[in-house]
Structure 1
Amino acid sequence: MPAELIVAVIILGAVILFSLEIFSIDITALIIMCALMVTGVLTVEEAVSGFSNPATLTVLAMLIISAGIQNTGLINYLGQQSVGTGIKNEIVVMAMTMFLAGTLSAFLNNTAVVAIFLPMTLKIAHHKNINANKLLMALSFGAMLGGSCTVIGSSTNLLVSAISEEHGLGAIKMFELAPVGGILFIVMTIFLVIGIRKTIPERKSEKGDLTGIYRLDNYLAEMIIPENSPFVGKNIEQTRLLQDHDLEILRIIRRENIIYLPENIELLEAGDSLIVKAKARKIIAMGKIPGIEIRTDLAINDEKLITEDVVLVEVIIGPNSLLIKKKINDIDFRKKYKAIPLAVRGKRGVAVEQLDQIALSEGFALLLEIEKDAISELHAGDDFIVLHELPQIKLEKRKAIIATTIVITVILAASLNLTSILVSAWLGCVAMFITRVIRIQYAYSKVSWKIFFLLAGLIPLGTALEKSGTGDLVATFITEHLATYGPAAILSSLFLVTTLLSGFVTNNAVAVLLAPIAITISHQLQIDAKPFLLAVIFGANTSFLTPIGYQTNTLIYGAGQYKFVDFLRTGGLMTLLVWILITVLLPLFYF
């Protein structure tokens, strides 16, 4: 089979796997790498070259530096300061959110920035009585746009820079993206907060509480065990209520005591009040069982569920969570987190029934009933981003000053061409380790290894495109059909294809595929390749169109109660304007 056909089949398979999310993106990337080796398209050395690629190593170094800054408490401190401002104007607060997220994301990992700011943004929205959906979208879009202003702003930027350097075009300089990226950031911020913010819907529960938001009203009930009940003296398992009625007992109220998360061996006593979760028809059916009384005069809401020791908490599955792809049934929430999952909000909306069979994904929102003293453990781990409850992270001033100095030094060293970004970034990492800003063990636990393996597995695909000639065939097809319209039209089309693909396939994969093609197109047109590479960068970084195309969108999706159409509507308008701006700005700066 011709190499071109093999590579085309591998690319098609990759697009399908990335789009359907059959495997996590890092595993899909490693499958691609292995496929290129097994088919003989690449040698073993070429296939594993992604692990030593400057882009992969630079991204790893910047992830460590981001973890170091995060460890000082500086980002949390900045967010908490913004909570305390007296400004309540919606437009101003949205603009401030975009500015802060964008500024930090220009130099730090934007996914980490959004993850940290998520609960703070919700708290700001609550205290200032502002639509949380608008602030969350401003947070995500601001982080994406900010990451487009410097070469270290996103892994995609570093990836395309490395591809440019490999082709003898030189690496993209630290602030080379800033002129176009800065204009995009300013214009798109104004456009979102003034022009189209009303296209972002506001969704609130009629009751305004979490039980209402997650539609638990018809699934919760209070069940009384009267004195003459045959269930008195039996343990929960012996009653067969759980097995026969698909019932979950959240707590037992016994006189002045509350038994939270009762074990199946717990004996029932006369007068016990059981707070239970079940389907509405099951609750009605239980009311007909002799020895059980269902209270119909009392609605179960947040106030009824929250006690001195137990609270309701909304959490988001984080980007580094070990629970991704696991079914709830396989996770012992009671033992591991001292919690019970009551409801899940995912891509298909809110689910209250048959939770056990739901496979968790990044960005899914869960409503947990949890012991109050266990919340700190949720904050400390990487499985969840806890909403509404802010972590008590103290600002370590000495570490914050040292870390900030290191970051500034890394940026200046690369900007002034004293050394490469790769070298300056790793010198920054070593400096953070030596000064104890971050311990290497902590760095191991906090780095998103998913991104590292994603890049390492994807980079060989770009090599295969060129080695097989597949990239040349695609570039020739594009130039033959669009050359008559001029370079600006090809540039505009390249951006559009990149941003549309990035809405459904991980943007790093799109960049790996299209950056070599962009270079070949520029060679065939005999013009500078830089604007074509920037079109790929900006297209991959401005994936506003869907909640699945960019990690920051995925993170806010569950927390904001969004629907897919919300991103199509608001993100579609954002994409349209960015497309127009890129079509004008890149030729203006480079042609």
Structure 2
Amino acid sequence: MFTDMHLVFLILVVTTICFLVPRFRADLVAVHALLALLLTGLITVPEAFAGFANSVVIMVAALFIVGEGVFQSGLAQKAGDLLVKSTKNSEWKLTIFMLLLVAVLSGFISNTGTVAILLPVVVSLSRQMQLHPGKLLIPLAFASSMGGALTLIGTAPNLIASQSLADAGYGALSFFSFTPVGLTMLFTGILYLWFVGRRLLDKPIEDRTGNSTKFDAAELIEQYGVSDFIHTVKVPVNSELIGRTIKQLHLPATYNITVLEAIKKDRKPLSKITGRPKSIRITVDPSYIIESGDIFLIYADEDAIEKLAADTGLIRQKDSLYQLEEAHLAEVILTPRSRLLNQSIKQVKFRAKYGLSVLAMKHQFSEAKRFTKDEILLYGDSILVHGKWKDINLLSAEKNDTVVLKSAAEETDLANQTQKSMVAGLILLGMLITMVFEWVPAVVAIVIAAVLMVLTGCVRQTDQAYQSINWQTVILIACMLPMATALENTGGVTFMSEGLINSLGAIGPLAVLAGLYGITSLFSQFISNTATAVLLFPVAILTAEQMAVSPIPMVMAVAFSSSMAFATPVATPPNAMVMAAGKYTFLDFVRVGVPLQLLIAVVAIVLLPLFFPF
């Protein structure tokens, strides 16, 4: 007989399969699952939308704003600067200090944002110290996941664990409930990554990597293979193009070319007096007005540049010494949750949005190639862009969609950044103290901190506060909570709980805890750790109640296991983010992550009953 419980499990199985398909967004899958439960009558309308009023959802959204304040104020960047100052060309210091720093930051703000801040710093330091970045970036991602498990607010599953226990009548967890076990896991992980992990990731340094401690534009141009597409042309006297703007020529549409830079003589009085005229280099935008004698650096293939010269009379400079200005180049990677994914360069209007030209791109596991306007941006892509240094810096500040990995652009002038970083630090400290001493409910403390970040200008605009919220995570949590409700209403939770007890209960609660940890660990390698935790917390609580033991160690086992996902590049956003930058393969994560996964599991299973007795 096909019962309501069978229908819930059917919806759950279909939802899980959809989570595994990369082309399906996790939040949209969760919305469809919610609608399926509602339309089949498995949950009521109030139950369906109760998740949106859940305090955990509010806390997660507000924490994104708090994290944005930490990033925009420069507080997180100061932590990156501290990493640079503390390494002193020592691989030991770089590795250990990097792991500790990313873990501490991830305990209080988004681990994805923390990795976005430190990723370019670590890559730059790797180049300076002649280390392959792949030796450090997987440890960076893994440490961010371990750090997120240190505190109540470090990761969404910890917040949901506390709320689940409170709803079941066992009281909420304190701010540092996770810390003793989390710290042991962290130090175990650091030891493993130093003595074992880095040896498994030891890769030969690329031919040009590390030859200079400075940004090397020639290296990027070579890696992306764009040198054959850079051409130099000169505007002759009396050219019909003089006085016209670049936009009026419709060069991209007509010839499929991009004008990158203009070089002209300095006509200032000082140059005339000294008799040593200097060249002025200008990054060309559509409004640039062409003048006689201008020399343009153009990005095009050979046929296009020949046709342009024939049609317009521009003179090609065959043996020009001019090269692209290195301050105008940057290598950019897309974040795992970037809004640019699965769209073409043309669709996202990249140049109009960022003021930058895309020169070339590298798909994951593929060679670099010149981009086409219809080229689809995919997960794991990296791109080479050209533009004004201020636009590169603005793109660098955009952590939700992109991470600027390599750039020689000047730093933006933020005169009040030190003051804002101090304000952001005080707000964050105040929030933590308030939560530790429980002066007000955790959700109130976090929301107040988020509001203060906006009012004090640490988040410069209210719109940026809204944009900083990862709505995919918020919607995912809100829509998956009713799935847990449906499982409880139809007996699905009881069914899974009894299955655990019947298979492992005879051995004892420790075996059941290990079983819960293993099931959670398996699911979290492929689907969202948040979704996994939401579904299994009720199972953990009911299983403990049926065995007449405390549910706290069971719930914490699920929370820790859902966050400790190391075996695949899709297990967590930080794993996905470092994959392109470190030039990793899927097997790199398996080779390094699986032993760490097992080692951390042993630590958790042994320690949880000691700190939280059954």
What's the TM-score bracket when you normalise by the shorter of the two chains? 0.7 to 0.9
Q: Could you say which residue in structure 2 is the equivalent of 1:220?
A: 228
Q: Relative to structure 2, which stretch is displaced further, 577-586 or 413-422?
A: 413-422
Contact 1:314–1:386 (CA under 8 A) maintained in structure 2: yes
Aligned to 2:276: none
Deviation at 1:258, TM superposition (A): 8.3
Query: What does residue range 563-578 of structure 1 map to in structure 2 within 5 Å?
Result: 563-578=585-600
Do the aligned partners of residues 86 and 184 (structure 1) sit closer, same or farther apart at CA in structure 2, a change above 3 Å counting? Answer: closer
Cα gap change, 1:356 to 1:517, in 2 (>3 Å) = farther
> Is 1:322 aligned to 2:339, yes or no?
yes
Which amino acid in the other structure matches residue 28 of structure 1?
Answer: V
What residue in structure 2 maps to residue 428 of structure 1?
Answer: 449
Maintained 8 Å contact 1:515/1:536 = yes
Query: What's the secondary structure of 1:387's corresponding residue?
Result: strand
Counterpart of 1:509 (choices 525, 531, 538) is 531
What residue number does 1:81 align with?
82
**2-side partners of 1:473 and 1:56: how far apart?**
28
Q: For 2:484 and 2:501, how far apart are their aligned partners in 1?
A: 20
Which residue pairs with 2:430 in the alignment? 409
Mapping for residues 26-37 of structure 1, pairs under 5 Å: 26-37=27-38
Question: Aligned runs of 1:95-244 on 2, under 5 Å?
Answer: 95-202=96-203, 204-208=205-209, 215-217=223-225, 220-221=228-229
- C-alpha contact (below 8 Å) 2:51/2:477 kept by paired residues: yes
Please say if 1:539 is aligned against 2:540: no
The structural deviation recorded for 1:543 is 0.6
Q: CA deviation at 1:27?
A: 2.0
Letter in 2 for 1:50: G
Contact between 1:345 and 1:558, CA under 8 Å: does it hold in 2? Answer: no
Aligned to 1:388, what secondary structure does the other structure show?
A: strand
Counterpart contact for 1:219–1:277, Cα < 8 Å? no
Whether 1:495 and 2:517 are equivalent positions in the alignment is yes
Equivalent-residue separation in structure 2 for 1:218 and 1:369 (angstroms): 12
1:339 — aligned with what? 356
Residue 322 of structure 1 aligns to a residue whose secondary structure is coil
SS at 1:40's partner residue? coil
| 1:588 has 2:610 as partner | yes
> Does 2:329 correspond to 1:312?
yes
Structure 1 gap segments, 5+ residues each: 227-231
Q: Which residue of 1 aligns with 2:277?
A: none
Contact 1:184 / 1:581 at 8 angstroms: preserved in 2?
yes
Q: Secondary structure at the match of 2:406?
A: coil
Question: What is aligned with 1:385?
Answer: 403
| 1:556 matched to 2:564 | no
Secondary structure in 2 matching 1:131: coil
Given candidates 384, 387, 392, the residue that maps to 1:370 is 387
8 Å contact kept, 2:225–2:369? no
Residue of structure 1 in register with 2:478 after alignment: 456
Look up the match of 2:95.
94
- Asked whether the 8 Å contact 1:73–1:395 carries over to 2, the reply is no
CA–CA separation in structure 2 for the residues paired with 1:34 and 1:207: 54
Mapped to 2, the partners of 1:21 and 1:450 lie a distance apart of: 14
Question: Alpha-carbon deviations, 1:258-302, whole Å to 9, x = none?
Answer: 897798xx99x99999865669xx99x99xx9x9x999999xxxx
Equivalent-residue separation in structure 2 for 1:251 and 1:125 (angstroms):
30
After superposition, the Cα gap between the structure-2 partners of 1:342 and 1:566, relative to the gap in structure 1 and judged at 3 Å, is: farther
Read off the aligned partner of 2:126 and give its amino acid letter. Answer: A
C-alpha distance in 2, partners of 1:347/1:519? 42
Distance in 2, matches of 1:81 and 1:100, equals 9
Aligned residues: 579
Between the aligned partners of 2:452 and 2:19, the Cα distance in structure 1 is 37
How much does 1:356 deviate? 4.5
User: Structure 1 residues 514, 296: CA separation in 2 closer, same or farther (over 3 Å shift)?
Assistant: farther
- Supply the AA of the counterpart residue of 1:527: V
| Partner of residue 237, structure 2 | none
Corresponding residue SS for 1:428? helix
Please give the per-residue CA displacement for 1:367-416, whole angstroms capped at 9, x wherever unaligned.
22334342133134443221223854566444434433333333233323
- Displacement of 1:320 in angstroms is 6.0
Identity over aligned pairs, percent: 28
CA contact (8 A) 1:120 1:388 kept: no
Report Cα offsets for 1:145-202 as digits up to 9, x if no partner. 1111111111111012212222222222211111111100111111101232111143
Picking from 517, 520, 530, the partner of 2:542 is: 520
TM-fit CA distance, 1:349: 3.8
Out of 461, 466, 475, the residue aligned to residue 444 of structure 1 is 466
Q: By how many angstroms is 1:428 displaced?
A: 2.9
Distance 1:184 1:241, change over 3 A: same
> Which secondary structure does the structure 2 equivalent of 1:418 belong to?
coil
Taking the aligned partners of 1:333 and 1:210, their CA distance within structure 2 comes to 22
TM-score, normalised with respect to structure 1: 0.85
* 1:419 and 2:440 correspond: yes
State whether structure 2 residue 498 is matched by structure 1 residue 476: yes
Q: 1:568 to 1:247 in 2, by over 3 A?
A: farther
Q: CA deviation at 1:550?
A: 0.6
Give the distance between the partners of 2:253 and 2:301, measured in 1 at CA: 12
CA contact (8 A) 2:454 2:465 kept: no
Deviation at 1:241, TM superposition (A): 12
Q: Deviation per CA, 1:452-481, whole angstroms, max 9, x where unpaired?
A: 222111211111111121121122122212
AA in 1 matched with 2:353: K
Q: After superposition, what is the alpha-carbon deviation per residue over 1:334-379, rounded to whole angstroms, capped at 9, x for unaligned? A: 3333333333344444452665555435653222233434213313
Relative distance call for 1:519 and 1:345 in structure 2 (3 A) is farther
User: CA 1:24/1:361 → structure 2, altered by over 3 Å: closer, same or farther?
Assistant: farther
Gap runs ≥5 in structure 2: 210-215, 235-239, 266-279
Contact map agreement 1:150 1:178 (CA 8 A) in 2: yes
Distance 1:418 1:434, change over 3 A: same
Q: What is the DSSP-based 3-state SS (H/G/I as helix, E as strand, rest coil) of the residue aligned with 1:366?
A: strand
Distance 1:73 1:242, change over 3 A: closer
| Rounded Cα–Cα distance in structure 2 between residues aligned with 1:254 and 1:391 | 24
Please report how far the alpha carbon of residue 508 of structure 1 lies from its aligned counterpart in structure 2 after TM superposition. 0.5
Q: TM-score by structure 2 length?
A: 0.82
How far apart are residue 446 of structure 1 and its match? 2.2
AA aligned to 1:420 is: P
Question: Is the 8 Å Cα contact of residues 379 and 391 (structure 1) preserved in structure 2?
Answer: no
